[in-house]
Amino acid sequence: MRRKPSPHPRPDPMAGRPSTLLAVAGVFLIAFSAAVPGMLRQALSGVAMLVALGAAGAAVLLVRQRAHRLRHSLARSSARSKGLERELRQRATLDPVTGLANRRQLTERLDRVLAGATPGVTVALLDLDGFKDVNDTLGHAAGDELLVQVSQRLRAALPGADLLARLGDDEFAVVWRGPGQALDQAFAQLRPSFPVAGRQVHLTASAGLVAVGDQRGSADVLRDADLALDAAKGAGKDRVVRFDPGLRTAAARQQQLATGLRRALAGGEFTLHYQPVVRLADGRVTAVEALLRWPAGGVPPLTFIPVAEATGLIVPLGWWVLRQACADAREWFERDGVAVTVNVSGRQLREHDFVERVLAVLDETGLPAAALVLELTESVLVDDAERTARLGRLRERGVRIAVDDFGTGYSSLAYLVHLPVDILKIDRTFTASGVDSTLMKVILQLAEGLSLQTVAEGVETDAQAAALKALGCHYGQGYLYSRPVPAGALSF
């Protein structure tokens, strides 16, 4: 029986060997004829020469075969190498999630534009508002799915763009010729909901625009666009801001201020002033609010606190304020029953050991938990279950929680039902606009229904204090009673 040919034949072990053997035999005969003397050598010389010539030809043929195989092998290796090189180049210049250009390709394009002095080129940095919440609630796989859908809508909305790139996280970049009105269409495309992980997700975007001109390189272009993007976010998001040279000046000033804040924190340049909170029924001081001051810097809190927030310095500053305020308040509480209220930033509350550190400060300073009130703004408290749980744990230990500047954020009392809140501090704008306003009455009535204590901020006249008392407001705070003063100047 004949065997079927194997689909994967083994290489013949004798392939190429005849030529090799013939070449070896020829060399052997030539050497032998040289060694054998006389007539025998003459008799064999003719045969030897023929064999030698054949062997030489075989050797040449063998060398050519080997050279051909080597060239073929090198060609295949070169093709594989070029294919791998192309794939590596693509990976180096494309975003792996969306398939858009990445930061490297963007910077190379911008450097070419600047080198060629190409006129009329606009760059936009676009950031998705609320994308972090998608990652936090639905997971990073859902976040990647959302990014793919966003990239598809941006492609459809910006067909004339020279380059569309994803720079990382939820930040995109667009390069095109023209002034940049095309972003209006892009924003409109992003507003309809996105189906992600079985849910409908809504997004908006913020963007910064810059015209390529006097910048020295791609880094300068992206810096200017990023400054405009920050301005768009700071102005309320869901908008486009065009770069203005004044933004560079403001950024330089902020950097200088941040450097000064770091130096002041390390050098102990900060102090605390305190403003009394008065019970309207009898005029008694029941608490004082700790307010941060920087005398050596000569910079007002409304200027340096936003910089501290933006740089993250608010976290170490916040812990310093809490520790100092609790240390100051121990004597006041023991002697006069006066509590202290301390402002807490959203960044500080996000610290995983926030509860433990607050309790450690109370233990360290000897201040009872009942003597401490933590103030937070509405935006910090809303829609964050983890923060709410942390505050709930502190309330269980006796610390009270106050909503500061109520009415300037979400302006909704509905969420107060579900939050661990004890005190509602009504923003000074309501006091200044008229204590008898309908909105003030509604706030006080609903707060009473929720068993929340109310503090009216910005009380400056006896008439305001009397009207607030008549409406049922419990406490007042403002210049009528005292300006913020150092601890040594307080009197109860």
Lowest pLDDT segment from 210-219, 383-392, 475-484: 383-392
Burial profile 222-253: b = 16 or more Cβ within 10 angstroms, e = fewer: bbbbbbbbbbbbeeeebebbbbeeebeeebee
Q: Which pTM value belongs to this model?
A: 0.68
Lowest pLDDT segment from 53-57, 121-125, 162-166: 53-57
DSSP state of 94: B
- The pLDDT value recorded for residue 89 is 59
- The pLDDT value recorded for residue 23 is 47
- pLDDT of 36 over the 60 cut: no
**248 within some domain:** no
- pLDDT of 39 over the 50 cut: no
- pLDDT of 375 over the 90 cut: yes
- pLDDT of 313 over the 70 cut: yes
Which CATH number characterizes residue 121's domain?
Answer: 3.30.70.270
- DSSP output for 328-393: HHHHHHHHH--EEEEE--HHHHTSTTHHHHHHHHHHHHT--GGGEEEEEEHHHHTT-HHHHHHHHH
Co-location of 153 and 234 in the same domain: yes
- The pLDDT value recorded for residue 14 is 46
Q: CB within 8 A of 352, min separation 6: which ones?
A: none
- pLDDT of 433 over the 80 cut: no
Co-location of 269 and 373 in the same domain: yes
**93 within some domain:** no
Region for 161 from its dihedrals, namely left if φ exceeds 0, alpha if ψ lies in -120 to 50, beta otherwise: beta
45 band by pLDDT with thresholds 50, 70 and 90 = low
User: How big, in percent rounded to 5, are the helix, strand and coil portions of the chain?
Assistant: 55, 20, 25
What are the distances in angstroms from CA 313 to CA 232, 264, 266, 390, 391?
23, 11, 11, 22, 22
Number of domains in the chain: 3
CA gap 226, 79 in Å, rounded: 42
Helix, strand or coil for residue 434?
coil
Co-location of 288 and 430 in the same domain: yes
CA gap 423, 455 in Å, rounded: 7
Q: List phi, psi (to 5°) of 327.
A: -65, -40
CA gap 383, 428 in Å, rounded: 25
Strand-pair category, 285-293 with 339-343:
parallel
- The pLDDT value recorded for residue 441 is 86
**84 within some domain:** no
Co-location of 409 and 267 in the same domain: yes
- The pLDDT value recorded for residue 32 is 47
Which CATH number characterizes residue 279's domain?
Answer: 3.20.20.450
- The pLDDT value recorded for residue 56 is 62
CA gap 310, 306 in Å, rounded: 6
**405 within some domain:** yes
The arithmetic mean of pLDDT across residues 125-138, rounded, is: 88
116 band by pLDDT with thresholds 50, 70 and 90 = confident
The arithmetic mean of pLDDT across residues 302-322, rounded, is: 95
- The pLDDT value recorded for residue 392 is 92
**86 within some domain:** no
27 band by pLDDT with thresholds 50, 70 and 90 = very low
Co-location of 346 and 427 in the same domain: yes
- The pLDDT value recorded for residue 48 is 55
**236 within some domain:** yes
- The pLDDT value recorded for residue 1 is 40
Co-location of 294 and 223 in the same domain: no
Residue that terminates a domain, selected from 30, 63, 79: 79
- DSSP output for 69-89: HHHHHHHHHHHHHHHHHHHHH
Domain span including residue 24: 17-79
Co-location of 205 and 336 in the same domain: no
Co-location of 340 and 426 in the same domain: yes
The arithmetic mean of pLDDT across residues 276-297, rounded, is: 96
**411 within some domain:** yes
- The pLDDT value recorded for residue 214 is 83
CA gap 233, 392 in Å, rounded: 31
CA gap 289, 292 in Å, rounded: 10
Name the nearest CA neighbour of 434 among 404, 468, 400.
468
**90 within some domain:** no
